[in-house]
Amino acid sequence: MSEQYDVIVIGAGPAGYAAAIRSAQQGLSTACIDKSLGKDGKPVLGGTCLNWGCIPSKALLDASHKYYDAKHGGFAAVGIKVGAVEIDVPAMISRKDQVVSGLTSGISGLFKGNGVTPLPGRGKLLKDRKVEYTAHDGSVKILAAEHVILAPGSVPVQIPPAPLTEGYIVDSTGALEFQSVPPRLGVIGAGVIGLELGSVWSRLGSQVIVLEALAEFLPMADERVSRDAEKILKKQGLDIRLGCLVTGAKVVNGAVEVTFKNAESEQTVTVDKLIVAVGRRPLTQNLLSADSGVNLDERGFLFVNDVCETDAPHVYAIGDVVRGPMLAHKGTEEGVMVAERIGGHKPMVNYNCIPSVIYTHPEIAWVGKTEQDVKAGGDAYNVGQFPFAASGRALAANDTEGFVKVIADAATDRILGIHVLGPQASEIVAQAVIAMEFDASAEDLGLTMFAHPTLSESLHEAALSVAGHAIHMVNRKKQ
C-alpha cells in the first residue's frame, strides 16, 4: 500500500517550501521532495534562490559595493579616510556560503517546526496523484496524495556556441564561485543576471564586456529607466555591447576566445572567463509520466489556469515552471495561494502587481505598466517624476543618481505603473506595490504623509508631480 499524504510538494525552492509550510500550517499532512545537494554533497533546501541565485548573488553584490565605495572615493567624499583597500575573494565567497548555509538550515527548522516531512531525492508525478519518490541512495517508493503541487524550478539556459567548460566558461552558478578576480571577464546576456554578476566582478577590478543579442537595453523596463541605467552602468565601467550575437566560444591557451556578429561584421574578443547568462528554462525533465494528465504549453512550461491548477485534477504547478516572470516572490505567493485553496480558502495572486528588481547600483525596480505599454494601449495618461538629486536624504548619503516615475490614468488618476532607478529602489518599490494593490490614485499617494528626510519622499514627490504639485522641485507646466 502506498504511503499517503494530504499534500505532496515536488521542489523546495521559494515556491515549493512556502506551499509545503502553509499546507502543514492548516493541519494537512505534507511531504516535500527535493533533489538538491549542497557543496558538501548533503541534501539542502531552498532551491536555486537560496543556494545559487538570489541570496548568494546579493551577498556578493553588497560586499563588492562596499569594497568599491572604499577604494574609489565613496568613503573619501563623506570624510572617511582609509589606507590601502584589498579584496580577499576566498573570504568573500566563504561568507557568501555562510549566509546561504544559515538560511537553508532555517528552512529545515521551519519544516520541522511546522510538521513538514522532507524527502531528499527526486519526485515524479504518475497517474492519479501517485508520486514515484527516488531517494539519493537509489531506493524507490510510491507515494499517494490527495493533492500534488509541482514546484521543480528552473535551470540556466545553455547555448551551443558557448558550451560550459570548467574553469573558463560558466553559468550563473559557476560565476558565484570564482576564487580570484578575472582580469578580463565576458558576459553573454545583458539581462538581470548578466548585469548583476557583471557588476560584482567589475567592482572588484575585472574589465567586463557584456554581449547582448538584442538591440535594445532592458526592453522590459521603462524606456527612460533603461536609457539612464545604461548610461550609468557604462560610466561605472561595464562595456555593454548591444546587437551582438555570440557565434562561438572556445578555450585557447588558457583564455576564452569569443566570436560574435554585430551589424557591421564578425568580431573576436579574448577574456579570461566567460559567464553565460541568457536566461533560465523550466526544469521538467523526468518530472511527469506520460499518463500523469499534466500538459505543457507551447513554450515548454506546465500549463495552468489563473489559480495554478493543471489539467490533472488536484494537481497544481507553481513558480518558475509556469507562465509569468521567474521571480522567487511570485513563486512564493503562488505557493501560499495554492496551499490555502487546498485548505478551502479562495485567495488569488494579483499578477498585475508583481514587482521586478535588478540589484545593480543604483538599483532598478518597477511594478505595473511602463510608459511604452500605456502609450501602446492608446489611453491618455499623466506622468510625474522626481530626481534623487533633489532628495535631501540621497544628498546626505552621497547617492543621488536616478529618479522615481509615477504613471497615472488621465481620466481616473489611478496608478498604472511606478518605476524607480536609484538607491534602495528595491525597498521603495514595495510602497508602490502596496499602493497599487489597493487601487490607489496618484492623489492618494500625494495625500499620504512620508517621513522626512527619507528616500521614500521621492515617491511622494513623484506622485505629487503627476498633477504638477511637487513641492521640492519646479513642476513642468502642463500642456
Instruction: Give the start-end residues of each E strand in 171-213.
Output: 184-188, 207-212
In the chain, which residues have pLDDT < 70?
1, 478-479
Q: For residue 96, what pLDDT is reported?
A: 96
Give the residue among 399, 383, 433, 317 at the shortest CA–CA distance from 13: 317
Ramachandran sector of residue 425 (left: φ over 0; alpha: ψ -120 to 50; beta: rest): alpha
Is 3-156+281-351 in CATH node 3.50.50.60? yes
Q: What is the pLDDT of residue 479?
A: 55
154 and 283 Cβ atoms separated by less than 8 Å: yes
CATH 3.50.50.60 in the chain, residues? 3-156+281-351, 169-278
Q: Which of 452, 460, 469, 472 is catalytic?
A: 452
Give Rg (Cα) of the chain.
24
pLDDT at 15: 98
Structure confidence by residue, pLDDT tens digits, 173-192 = 999 999 999 999 999 999 99
473 and 404 Cβ atoms separated by less than 8 Å: no
Phi and psi, residue 25, nearest 5°: -60, -25
Separation between Cα atoms, residue 432 and residue 377, nearest integer Å: 22
**Known catalytic residue at 452:** yes
pLDDT of residue 65: 96
Quick one: cell of 100?
Answer: 546561504
Q: At which residue does the C-alpha cell 490614485 appear? A: 441
Tell me the pTM. 0.96
- Burial call 80-106: b when 16+ CB within 10 Å, e when fewer: eeeeeeebebeebbeebbebbbebbee
Secondary structure of residue 111 in the 3-state scheme: helix
**Topology at the third CATH level for domain 169-278:** FAD/NAD(P)-binding domain (3.50.50)
The one-letter amino acid code at 294 reads V
CATH architecture of 362-466: 2-Layer Sandwich (3.30)
What number of other Cβ atoms are within 10 A of residue 278's Cβ? Answer: 23
CATH 3.30.390.30 domain residues, the chain: 362-466
